Homo-oligomer: A and B are copies of this chain.
Amino acid sequence: MAKKATIVWTKVDEAPALATYSLLPIVRAFTKDAGVKIELRDISLGGRVLAAWGKAPDDLAYLGELVWKPEANIMKLPNISASIPQLVDAIKELQAKGYDIPDFPEDPKTEEEKKVREVYAKCLGSVVNPVLRQGNSDRRIAKPVKDYARKVAEKRNWMKPVPENSKSYVAHMKGGDFYENEKSVTLKKDTKIRYEFVDKNGNVTVMKEIELGEGDVVDATYMNREKLREFYSEVLEDAKYNDILFSLHVKATMMKISDPVMFGDAIRVYFKELFEEFGKELEEIGFNPNNGLVDLEKKLSKLPEEKQEAIKKKIEEIYAKQPRLYMVDSDKGITNLHRPNDVIIDASIPAVIKNGIQGWGPSGEVDDCVITVPDRSYATMYREIVDDIKLNGQFDPRTIGSVANVGLMAMKAEEYGSHDKTFFPPADGIMRVVDEDGNVLLDHEVNAGDIYRSCVTKKIAIEDWVKLAVNRARESGEPIVFWLDAYRAHDRELIRKVNEELKKYDLTDIEWHIMAPPEAMKYTLKRFRQGLNTIAVTGNVLRDYLTDLFPIIEVGTSARSLSIVPLINGGGVFETGAGGSAPKHVQQFVKEGHLRWDSLGEYLAFVESLKLAYKQAGNEKIKILAETLSEAVGKYLENDRTPKRKVGELDTRGSHFYLALYWAEALANQTEDKELAEKFAPIAKALKENEEKILEEIRATEGSPKDIGGYYLPDDEKAEAAMRPSKTFNDIIDSI
C-alpha cells in the first residue's frame, strides 16, 4: 500500500497569496486521489506577527523543524521581507481586526519596549530563507520554459548583436585583490577560532570568536585598497583614452560590508580632484562616498550656497575630464556611481551583455564600456564570456544549450556568510585567525582601512553539495564542472574535499571535471554554443552570478528559472517567484478586479515538488501527475496563457483555468495509468466545452473594485470568492 506524501504549500503575502486562493483548490483536486496531501502553512507577515504573540500557530518554527526531516516537501512562494514601515502597517491592520498586540516601538526605551522590539525583530527583513534554506542550491531552466524561449526568440531575439570591433572589455586587478591574498585552512578538529588584530606594537585586539567543527573550511583574505585605487585609475585612464563608458560592477546589496567600500573607492578615485580641493567641506557635511553620489546630493545643502556652486562646478569639470559614466537610468540622470545598491553585478553584467556588450551613457547614448570587476575571484569568468562573444558573436537563444547550477549555499557558505567576519583594520598591522590552542591558522599583513574578509564553509554543506552535483549529473546525464581554481586558496581546500567525496560515489557514466573559472567558462561556452547542456557546480557567489547570467541569455530573464533547495536531510524546498510578491498587482486587483500575477513559477516548482513526492510516497500516479503537469506547462506557454496587463484580458484566474484544462487533457491522453486517464477524460471534456463560459464568468467580475478583507491578513472567504468567481469552473474542479 502506497505511502502518503505531504506537500507544504506556503501561505504568503500579496499577489502570490491571492493567486493561491484560486490555484490551490485546483492543485488539491488534481492530486488528492494520488496520495498527496497539500497542507497550507502560514509564513505571511501577518501570520508571523500573530505567531510571535502566540495568537496563531508558529508555522515557520514548524517548517524550521520540518526541513531537517526527510519527508519535507515545501512549496516556498515569495513572501514579504518586511521593512519597518511594512511591519507597522501590518500591526495596525491586525489591531484593527481585534488582535491584542502591542505597537511597534520605533525607538524603544523601557525594558518592556525593548522586549517588544525583540519580538518584532523576528518579523523583520529576510527571516524565512535562513530558516528554510537548509541545503544547497539546484537551479535550472525547466524544459517547457527552454522550449518556449527557443520559439519566442524566433520572433523577438533579446540578445542584441555586438558591434564590429567592440571596444568593450572586462577589467580586473593584476594583484593585491581578494583573489591573490586568500589563505585557507581545513580545521583538523572542533575548535573555537578567534579573529585578532595585532598592531605594530604587538597589542592584540580580539574582533570576534566563533565555534567551528572538524572539516570546516576557514578562509581569510584582504583587498589592498591602495592597489584597488591604482587599478581604478588605470581603468579610468583607459576608458577615457578609448572614449568608452566606465562601468563598475559590485554587489553592495549582498556583500553589504565590503562592497560599499569598493564602490566608495571608485568615487574617491573618479572625483579625486574634488576631494583634494574640497576635502574639508565634504568631511564637514559628512559625505560618505560608500553611500554613493546621492549622499553628496542630500548633504550638499548644508554648505553655504557659494561653496555648493563651487563644488557643482568642480564636479562638472571632473565629468568633462574623466571618462563618461555608464548610466543606471540615463533618463533620470542616475549614474553608475549614484547608489551602491543600484548596480548589482549579477544583473548588471548580463544586462550589458544582452545589450551587445554596451551600456547607456550620460546623454542617453548607447556605447561600448569597460566592465570593471576588481576582484579576480569573479572577474575572470566574465572576461572569458565577454571575450567569447566578441570573438564568436552574440549568443543565439534559438540554438544554445543550457547551463544549470549546483551551488554551495547551505549554512551561509563562503563569502555570502562573511558579513560578520569582515573587518577594516584600524591601523597597519596583522589580522589573524587563531584557534583555541593558540595556533595561528591564517595571518595577513594589512594596511589600515584595507578590507579584511573571512569566510566559513561547513563540512556538511560541502559534502551535501558534492552529493547534489553527482545526483544532478546522474539524473540529467549532463557533465558537471566544479568551478574551482587550484591557485585560489579556498578552492584548493575544496578541490581536495571534492576529490575525497567523489570517491564515495559510483561515477560510472558520469562526466565530471574540476576547472578554474576561466577554463570552466571556456568549456561550458563551447558546449553552450553547440547546443549542449552543462551543469556548473560552483561556490555561493558564482552560483548567484551564473544563475542570472545564463538564464538571462537563454530565456531572457532569470525569473523563470527553477530554484530548488534539496535539503541536506533529503527533503526539498521549491522556491518560486524571483520577482518578489508584487504589491502593485494587489493594488490593481483591489481597484479593478484584474490580477496579473503569473503562477508559472508555482507550476514549474510544483512539477518538481511532485517528483519529490513520488520519491517519498512511491505512488506511480504522482509521477504521472508531475509529467502531465510539465506537459501542461509547455502548452500553457506555447499558447501564451500567461496573464495580461489590462482589465478584460486574460488574468491570473483565467490562466489557472487553462492550466487546469491542459493538465486534465494531458492526464486524459496519457496511457500509463488508465484509472487517471478515465478519471480526467470527462474533466478535460467539461473544461474544454465550458471554456468560453468560464472565461466570461471571470471577465464579468472585472472592472470593479474587489473587497478581500485586508492586506496583510485578508479574509479567506472574501478573498476566495473574489479569486474563484466562475461557478462553472468551481463546480468542475470540486467534482474531481
Q: A176: CB under 8 A from chain B?
A: yes
B-chain residues with CB within 8 Å of residue A376 when the two chains form the complex: 174
Contact A392 B174 (CB under 8 A): no
Contact B487 A391 (CB under 8 A): no
Tell me the chain A residues, 161-183 only, with Cβ under 8 Å from chain B: 165, 169, 171, 174-176, 179-180
Q: A640: CB under 8 A from chain B?
A: no
B-chain residues with CB within 8 Å of residue A238 when the two chains form the complex: 486-487, 492
B-chain residues with CB within 8 Å of residue A487 when the two chains form the complex: 171, 174, 234, 238
Contact A522 B234 (CB under 8 A): no
Q: A216: CB under 8 A from chain B?
A: no
Q: A523: CB under 8 A from chain B?
A: yes
Tell me the chain A residues, 384-418 only, with Cβ under 8 Å from chain B: 387, 390-392
A391 to B528, CA, bound (A): 13
The digit string for A44-79, where 1 denotes a CB below 8 A from any CB of B, is: 000000000000000000000000000000000000
Q: A519: CB under 8 A from chain B?
A: yes
Cβ-defined partner of A522 (8 Å) among B171, B387, B526: B387
A376 to B513, CA, bound (A): 25
Nearest residue, chain B, Cβ from A495: B241
A179 to B173, CA, bound (A): 12
Contact B523 A391 (CB under 8 A): yes
* Count of identical protomers in the assembly: 2
B-chain residues with CB within 8 Å of residue A234 when the two chains form the complex: 487
A487 to B492, CA, bound (A): 28
A392 to B527, CA, bound (A): 11
Give, as a whole number of angstroms, the nearest-CB distance from A175 to chain B: 3
Contact A387 B175 (CB under 8 A): no
Cβ-defined partner of A175 (8 Å) among B169, B176, B526: B176
A390 to B518, CA, bound (A): 13
Contact B387 A519 (CB under 8 A): yes
Could you say which of A174, A179, A241, A518 has the most chain B C-beta atoms within 10 Å of its C-beta?
Answer: A174
A169 to B487, CA, bound (A): 12
The digit string for A705-731, where 1 denotes a CB below 8 A from any CB of B, is: 000000000000000000000000000
Tell me the chain A residues, 502-523 only, with Cβ under 8 Å from chain B: 513, 518-519, 522-523
Give, as a whole number of angstroms, the nearest-CB distance from A724 to chain B: 55
A598 to B74, CA, bound (A): 78
Cβ-defined partner of A180 (8 Å) among B165, B174, B387, B392: B174
Nearest residue, chain B, Cβ from A238: B486
Contact A180 B175 (CB under 8 A): yes
A511 to B123, CA, bound (A): 62
Nearest residue, chain B, Cβ from A174: B180
Contact A522 B391 (CB under 8 A): yes
A175 to B175, CA, bound (A): 5
B-chain residues with CB within 8 Å of residue A179 when the two chains form the complex: 174
**A526 and B392 in contact, given A487-B234, A519-B387 (Cβ under 8 angstroms):** yes
A526 to B492, CA, bound (A): 32
Tell me the chain A residues, 551-572 only, with Cβ under 8 Å from chain B: none
Give, as a whole number of angstroms, the nearest-CB distance from A360 to chain B: 23
Give, as a whole number of angstroms, the nearest-CB distance from A388 to chain B: 8
The digit string for A482-496, where 1 denotes a CB below 8 A from any CB of B, is: 000011000010001
B-chain residues with CB within 8 Å of residue A169 when the two chains form the complex: 519
B-chain residues with CB within 8 Å of residue A526 when the two chains form the complex: 391-392
B-chain residues with CB within 8 Å of residue A518 when the two chains form the complex: 387
Nearest residue, chain B, Cβ from A390: B519
B-chain residues with CB within 8 Å of residue A176 when the two chains form the complex: 175
B-chain residues with CB within 8 Å of residue A171 when the two chains form the complex: 487
A492 to B238, CA, bound (A): 9
A526 to B392, CA, bound (A): 9
B-chain residues with CB within 8 Å of residue A175 when the two chains form the complex: 174-176, 180
A131 to B487, CA, bound (A): 45
A174 to B486, CA, bound (A): 12
B-chain residues with CB within 8 Å of residue A391 when the two chains form the complex: 519, 522-523, 526
Give, as a whole number of angstroms, the nearest-CB distance from A327 to chain B: 24
B-chain residues with CB within 8 Å of residue A241 when the two chains form the complex: 486, 496
A171 to B519, CA, bound (A): 13
Nearest residue, chain B, Cβ from A237: B492
B-chain residues with CB within 8 Å of residue A174 when the two chains form the complex: 175, 179-180, 376, 487
B-chain residues with CB within 8 Å of residue A387 when the two chains form the complex: 518-519, 522
Nearest residue, chain B, Cβ from A179: B174
Nearest residue, chain B, Cβ from A496: B241
Tell me the chain A residues, 124-174 only, with Cβ under 8 Å from chain B: 165, 169, 171, 174
Tell me the chain A residues, 191-209 only, with Cβ under 8 Å from chain B: none
A390 to B519, CA, bound (A): 10
A618 to B350, CA, bound (A): 58
Give, as a whole number of angstroms, the nearest-CB distance from A225 to chain B: 15
Give, as a whole number of angstroms, the nearest-CB distance from A28 to chain B: 50
Could you say which of A179, A391, A486, A496 has the most chain B C-beta atoms within 10 Å of its C-beta?
Answer: A486
A390 to B526, CA, bound (A): 12
B-chain residues with CB within 8 Å of residue A492 when the two chains form the complex: 238
The digit string for A513-547, where 1 denotes a CB below 8 A from any CB of B, is: 10000110011001000000000000000000000
B-chain residues with CB within 8 Å of residue A392 when the two chains form the complex: 526
A39 to B238, CA, bound (A): 52
B-chain residues with CB within 8 Å of residue A519 when the two chains form the complex: 169, 387, 390-391
Give, as a whole number of angstroms, the nearest-CB distance from A206 to chain B: 28
A526 to B526, CA, bound (A): 13
Nearest residue, chain B, Cβ from A512: B165
A355 to B297, CA, bound (A): 63
A-B contact pairs, 20 of them (CB 8 A): A165-B513, A169-B519, A171-B487, A174-B376, A174-B487, A175-B175, A234-B487, A238-B486, A238-B487, A238-B492, A241-B486, A387-B518, A387-B519, A387-B522, A390-B519, A391-B519, A391-B522, A391-B523, A391-B526, A392-B526
The 4 A-B residue pairs with the shortest CB-CB distance in the complex, in nearest-first order: A175-B175, A175-B180, A174-B180, A238-B486
